[in-house]
Structure 1
């Protein structure tokens, strides 16, 4: 089990104030990591830090926008100065705009790309500098089912997540010589507060996901924790440039098999 021990490690999770980002942060903390949590909203940070504290996890908040390179650079410098190092970076902060491509404003398309693709590049570049110096580091990019599949209404999001998959592979290629592993997690469809309105019985999308997923259900956020711990720990030291899809089997099949 020492392979999965994160005691003494500092983990920076962008957007780790709610949803899947918080689930991953909780998992890393349960394995011993000290948390550094970022967001662009102070209220969300305050609430999240309180929730981590209730569980006995050490978590420090930082307020900045990952797409603002100047602000992000100053924040990373403060984090390294205060915590000594950043061992693990989870690029989780992201947005989605659901709109048909023909109706989408170019400015909105660019905003999604900026947050979901440029943001991870900015943070990886800044954090990797010290990782390269120390010859050690783990970077985890939050990819998506849309890194592989298309769907109505999410052209910008899918473009960004497809790009993030390839950014993951390229950064892994560049930084492997420095003992840095860059991998991704591709979540399937999870039961979060954001998906609650469409997870009611009878909702067409709820029925679609249940029927499309071989396990026949939505994932629970804490089911991402094990994959995150694995990719952040010594257990994955020779795993690089990969995206691990935690999707209940969606990508393995053209559809959920008919009844027993």
Structure 2
């Protein structure tokens, strides 16, 4: 296959070039930015693009954005993205485009050379390869999304204001409701999200984390200081333990 590589880490990029070349592939370009990647795809019309999720200048989503664009503008180019960590939002966005000729792997998988090369071959042949960690976290995210879909529009509003750190009194003022009505909505949110009453005030924190798309730490979790000591929550969101 004719391959384009986009990876900003010089040593890793050189290693990938050598690995793929020795496996019989033709690396037609290796670049370190999303802009250079898009230019290389336009110029060389490769069969395959190997892309780091985070590229200069901000190292946030340049790589994945370029990958989505390639999938849209060059449907014949297979794309395999590499990431240091699981980026659920980015993975979801990429997978939603098309699933054929697509891969998403953590960079640790490159260490298993045989498995990595097999993944390249699979994606290049039009298959789909998703890292087990990616699949696991996407399933959790999907489940949480379904749970949030159960909430009424008013419950979504209440939960959104909870996520902003507002107390029950402030939520009531914002929505022109009584505090008792707000408390009823919050109890309903807890019930629909399956947050048991024995969780105490921690239910509020867990509900907000789900709303924001973060992993649920489970019952009994308390924020900790950088040194690892457990501490009493001090933000408005965490202070307000009613209901």
Asked if Structure 1 and Structure 2 have the same fold, meaning a TM-score greater than 0.5 normalized by the shorter chain, the answer is no
TM-score, scaled to structure 1: 0.38
Return the structure number with greater relative CO, CA threshold 8 A, min gap 6: 1
TM-score, scaled to structure 2: 0.40
CA radius of gyration, larger in: 2
